[in-house]
């Protein structure tokens, strides 16, 4: 097909602000289910203050990612920014830190799934049952990702919305039923509980609540009108997250106050802090249903977050392999399922190993190590890009700048970079296990990088992307939904076969519309038995060919209105492609026919035209083939 885009040309821009927000909040919102307990272990009564301080760093970091992503709307996040601002060495450094983040996201999310399911079986809330169950979650997700089972985007969006509304309801109920400013003040004995060192460690640990910040950046290649879509989605996420995380810790510490230097939030319910808060609020007859609802929702959200982390690992590994940052073997695709099974297997195994000690606090601090390193590089990259490429188009510029030696320096990046750099120093200096594990991770990565680059004959700073060879024959793409339209029952088996192929591996991805032309002398609803019977036969034939993925219906139209109705149907079902067949050529008629010309003129998506090849030696063609595809 003449203009069908090959897969290697990039992703289709179909995501708007709501889709980006829902996807990102689904990742960020999951972290509160374990972050609240992790922070309370260190901060005790200062937990609400810690979340506010970390929230400031989060706002600055979000601004950095928004400006850089709208400049270069491509997947990669801090790694991509560092490549543009510095060189390939720093790009690898940021990517390797991201890799650690993804692995710990998988580990920590899977580890806390059984804690919330403990509402049904108490032993799941403690060792070794939680470790065994969590490892089982990782193994199951790794197997699913190797096979290539896709997530249901609609389900993820629904769960993200349900998650956000649940947290809002919990905050509102908590404000009216348990929030006590006097209790919050009495909780604090700063210098003793918490100590100054624990308070300082708690600030970077609180950043674990903002896991998934790079999600929007990694979806930039699929965003529509990215100059406006990405800032709107990021802004909505910041407002939603800050409003929840600024209030929920205060509600939690009011319901589970600090007594004798301890709080249940950091002890008895540290493994399922949100469920612990629900249990401490008197909801009357709704108490038991609310606990079950929150337990199931939290476990589901955390399961999806673990899966998102595993997907992130595989995508990041594949991207790093393309830039020759990691050995080709790691990005090797499965011969049958076409998924990076080596990367999924190796890093899934590492996730299981990090879960074995069952130390949630260590998982939180080691995540902080990778996140702070990645965020710091991102902030410095944006500052460097302001100096290095001042004239580069910036669809969105972060607020607040100062001019130094003729260069506009972004204050949000300066504040954010300084804060995350200090947080990185604090968490490594005050927590020796994190220093050892984090340093070991970086050293291992650097050894692999240096050895591999030397074997490839590349310098450490040289960017060398593997160029995917262009296919000799244009390859098929897959569309979310395909519309096949026929006039007056003019069935084409080849048109349906093309549509089914375009919607490969998708159920109910093909919809057949048959238009029946009603003569002007009859009412539009007049019975036309023969035409209606032929339309039903057309739809049944299409279903017989395409199976359950094919749906269809027929409609009556006036002469000349079929094209407009086909366009309306394509918009209504959100079709990504329309397959049509031109009418038989008659003397004096246009080449394509009026209906086809109307669809091409008003097309809301790609249009594929099935047309017979020219006759050879006067013989009719034996097979119809796609003639052309019209892109928007």
Give the pLDDT score at 605: 83
Residue pLDDT, tens place only, 73-113: 877 788 989 999 999 999 999 999 989 988 998 999 999 99
Torsion region of 433: left, alpha or beta (phi above 0 gives left; psi -120 to 50 gives alpha): alpha
Give the pLDDT score at 153: 53
CB 204 within 8 A of CB 424: yes
CB 166 within 8 A of CB 297: yes
- Read off the pLDDT band of 612 (50, 70, 90): low
Superfamily of domain 19-110+151-268+358-456: Amino acid/polyamine transporter I (1.20.1740.10)
- Look up the pTM and report it: 0.70
Strands 401-404 and 407-410: antiparallel
Judging by beta carbons within 10 Å of its beta carbon (0-12, 13-18, 19+), is residue 106 exposed, middle or buried?
buried
Kindly report the backbone phi and psi dihedral angles of residue 525, in degrees, each rounded to the nearest multiple of 5, phi listed first.
-95, 15
Q: Is the pLDDT of residue 620 over 60?
A: no
Give the pLDDT score at 498: 82
Percent of the chain with pLDDT over 90: 23
Q: Is the pLDDT of residue 149 over 80?
A: no
Over residues 246-251, the mean pLDDT reads 89
Give the pLDDT score at 539: 85
- Read off the pLDDT band of 447 (50, 70, 90): very high
Of 361, 364, 326, the residue nearest 343 (C-alpha): 326
**What's the half-sphere exposure (Cβ side, CA atoms, 13 Å) at 332?**
10
Q: Is the pLDDT of residue 473 over 50?
A: no
Give the pLDDT score at 450: 93
The CA distance from 439 to 433, in Å, is 10
CB 511 within 8 A of CB 481: yes
Percent of the chain with pLDDT over 70: 84
128 preceded by cis ω (within 30°)?
yes
Three-class secondary structure of residue 131 per DSSP: helix
Residue pLDDT, tens place only, 570-583: 888 878 888 888 76
Give the pLDDT score at 49: 92
Q: Which position has the higher pLDDT, 471 or 536?
A: 536
Over residues 365-371, the mean pLDDT reads 90
Give the pLDDT score at 436: 93
The CA distance from 510 to 543, in Å, is 9
Our CA dihedral for 360, 365, 370, 375, rounded to 10 degrees, sits at 120
Our CA dihedral for 539, 543, 549, 554, rounded to 10 degrees, sits at 10
Cα–Cα separations (whole angstroms), residue 444 to 327, 332, 355, 505? 14, 21, 20, 40
Over residues 432-445, the mean pLDDT reads 92
Q: Which position has the higher pLDDT, 10 or 86?
A: 86
Q: Which position has the higher pLDDT, 69 or 626?
A: 69
The top-scoring range by mean pLDDT among 216-225, 368-377, 467-476 is 368-377
Q: Which position has the higher pLDDT, 622 or 553?
A: 553
Q: What is the DSSP string of 447-463?
A: HHHHHHHHHHT--SS--
- Read off the pLDDT band of 117 (50, 70, 90): very high
* Residues sharing a CB contact under 8 Å with residue 451, sequence separation 6 or more, in sequence order: none
Residue pLDDT, tens place only, 528-561: 888 888 888 888 888 888 777 788 888 888 888 8
Where does 420-538 show beta strands of DSSP type E?
482-487, 510-518
Over residues 199-206, the mean pLDDT reads 88
Q: What is the DSSP string of 135-185?
A: HHHHHHHHHHHHHTPPP-HHHHHHHHHHHHHHHHHHHHHHHHHT--HHHHH
How many H-runs (helices) and E-runs (strands) does the chain carry? 21, 8
Give the pLDDT score at 476: 42
- Read off the pLDDT band of 420 (50, 70, 90): very high
User: Which range is least confidently modeled, 18-22, 166-170, 246-250, 529-533?
Assistant: 18-22
Residue 588, Cα to own-chain centre: how many angstroms?
53
CB 310 within 8 A of CB 333: no
Give the pLDDT score at 563: 86
Task: Scan for tokens 């060879």, then name that residue.
Answer: 469
CB 28 within 8 A of CB 62: no
Q: Is the pLDDT of residue 380 over 90?
A: yes
Do 19-110+151-268+358-456 and 482-630 share a fold? no
The CA distance from 516 to 489, in Å, is 8
Q: What are residue 410's DSSP bridge partners?
A: 401
The CA distance from 36 to 259, in Å, is 18
The CA distance from 272 to 114, in Å, is 9
Q: Is the pLDDT of residue 401 over 60?
A: yes
The CA distance from 273 to 264, in Å, is 9
Give the pLDDT score at 321: 82
Residue boundaries of the structural domains of the chain = 19-110+151-268+358-456, 482-630
194 preceded by cis ω (within 30°)?
yes
Q: Is the pLDDT of residue 508 over 60?
A: no
The CA distance from 437 to 39, in Å, is 20
Over residues 107-122, the mean pLDDT reads 92
Q: Is the pLDDT of residue 518 over 90?
A: no
The CA distance from 255 to 174, in Å, is 8
- Read off the pLDDT band of 160 (50, 70, 90): confident
**What's the half-sphere exposure (Cβ side, CA atoms, 13 Å) at 310?**
37
Assigned CATH topology for domain 482-630: Rossmann fold (3.40.50)
Q: Which position has the higher pLDDT, 305 or 12?
A: 305
Over residues 151-161, the mean pLDDT reads 66
Give the pLDDT score at 611: 65
CB 604 within 8 A of CB 567: yes
Q: What are residue 580's DSSP bridge partners?
A: 609
Q: Is the pLDDT of residue 287 over 50?
A: yes
Average pLDDT over the chain, rounded to whole? 82
Give the pLDDT score at 155: 63
Give the pLDDT score at 585: 55
Both tokens assigned to 505: 């591996």
CB 236: neighbour CB atoms within 10 A?
Answer: 17
* Residues sharing a CB contact under 8 Å with residue 176, sequence separation 6 or more, in sequence order: none
The CA distance from 475 to 48, in Å, is 54
Task: Give the angle subtended at the CA of 306 by the CAs of 77 and 443, to the nearest 5°.
Answer: 55
Of 437, 366, 172, 357, the residue nearest 283 (C-alpha): 172
Q: What is the DSSP string of 587-604?
A: TTS-SS-HHHHHHHHH-S
The CA distance from 78 to 92, in Å, is 10
* Cβ burial 286-301 (10 Å sphere, 16+ → b, else e): eeeebbeebbebbbbb
Of 389, 604, 501, 335, the residue nearest 1 (C-alpha): 501
Give the pLDDT score at 139: 94
């Amino acid at each position: 097909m003449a203009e069908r885009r090959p897969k290697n040309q990039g992703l289709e821009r179909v995501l708007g602000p709501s889709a980006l927000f829902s996807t990102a909040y689904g990742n960020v919102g999951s972290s509160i289910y374990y972050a609240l307990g992790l922070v309370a272990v260190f901060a005790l009564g200062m937990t609400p203050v810690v979340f506010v301080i970390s929230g400031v760093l989060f706002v600055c970091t979000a601004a950095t990612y928004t400006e850089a992503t709208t400049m270069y709307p491509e997947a990669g996040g801090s790694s991509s920014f560092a490549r543009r601002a510095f060189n390939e060495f720093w790009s690898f450094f940021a990517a390797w830190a991201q890799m650690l983040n993804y692995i710990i996201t998988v580990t920590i999310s899977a580890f806390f799934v059984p804690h919330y399911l403990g509402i049904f079986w108490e032993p799941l809330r403690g060792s070794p049952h939680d470790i065994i169950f969590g490892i089982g979650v990782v193994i199951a997700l790794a197997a699913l990702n190797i096979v290539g089972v896709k997530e249901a985007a609609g389900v993820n969006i629904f769960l993200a919305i349900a998650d956000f509304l649940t947290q809002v309801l919990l905050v509102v109920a908590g404000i009216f039923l348990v929030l006590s400013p006097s209790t919050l003040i009495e909780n604090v004995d700063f210098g003793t509980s918490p100590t100054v060192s624990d308070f300082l460690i708690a600030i970077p640990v609180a950043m674990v609540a903002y896991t998934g910040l790079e999600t929007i950046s990694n979806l930039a290649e699929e965003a529509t009108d990215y100059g406006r879509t990405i800032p709107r989605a990021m802004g909505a996420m910041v407002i939603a997250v800050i409003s929840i995380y600024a209030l929920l810790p205060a509600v939690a510490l009011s319901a589970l106050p600090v007594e004798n230097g301890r709080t249940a939030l950091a002890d008895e319910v540290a493994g399922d802090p949100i469920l612990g808060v629900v249990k401490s609020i008197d909801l009357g007859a709704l108490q038991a249903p609310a606990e079950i609802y929150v337990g199931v929702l939290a476990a589901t959200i955390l399961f999806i977050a673990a899966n998102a982390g595993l997907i992130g690992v595989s995508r990041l590994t594949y991207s790093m392999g393309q830039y020759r940052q990691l050995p080709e073997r790691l990005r090797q695709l499965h011969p049958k399922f076409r998924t990076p099974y080596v990367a999924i297997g190796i890093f899934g195994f590492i996730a299981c190993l990090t879960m074995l000690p069952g130390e949630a606090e260590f998982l939180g601090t080691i995540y902080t190590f990778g996140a702070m390193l990645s965020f710091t590089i991102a902030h410095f990259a944006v500052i460097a890009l302001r100096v290095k490429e001042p004239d580069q188009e910036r669809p969105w510029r972060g607020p607040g700048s100062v001019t130094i030696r003729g260069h506009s320096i972004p204050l949000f990046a300066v504040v954010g970079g300084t804060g995350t750099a200090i947080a990185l120093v604090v968490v490594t200096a005050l927590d020796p296990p994190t220093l050892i594990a984090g340093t070991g991770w970086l050293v291992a990565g650097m050894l692999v990088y240096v050895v591999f680059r030397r074997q490839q004959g590349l310098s450490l700073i040289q960017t060398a992307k593997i160029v995917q060879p262009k296919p000799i024959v244009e390859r098929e793409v897959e569309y979310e939904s395909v519309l096949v339209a026929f006039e007056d029952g003019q069935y084409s088996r080849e048109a349906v076969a093309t549509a089914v192929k375009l919607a490969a591996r998708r159920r109910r991805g093909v919809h057949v519309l048959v238009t029946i032309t009603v003569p002007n002398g009859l009412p539009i609803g007049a019975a036309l038995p023969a035409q209606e019977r032929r339309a039903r036969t057309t739809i049944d034939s299409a279903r017989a060919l395409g199976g359950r993925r094919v749906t269809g219906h027929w409609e009556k139209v006036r002469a000349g209105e079929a094209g407009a109705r086909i366009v309306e149907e394509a918009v209504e079902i959100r079709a990504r492609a329309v397959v049509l067949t031109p009418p038989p050529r008659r003397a004096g008629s246009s080449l394509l026919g009026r209906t086809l010309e109307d669809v091409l003129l008003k097309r809301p998506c790609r249009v594929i035209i099935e047309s017979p090849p020219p006759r050879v030696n006067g013989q009719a063609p034996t097979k119809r083939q796609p003639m052309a595809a019209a892109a928007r």
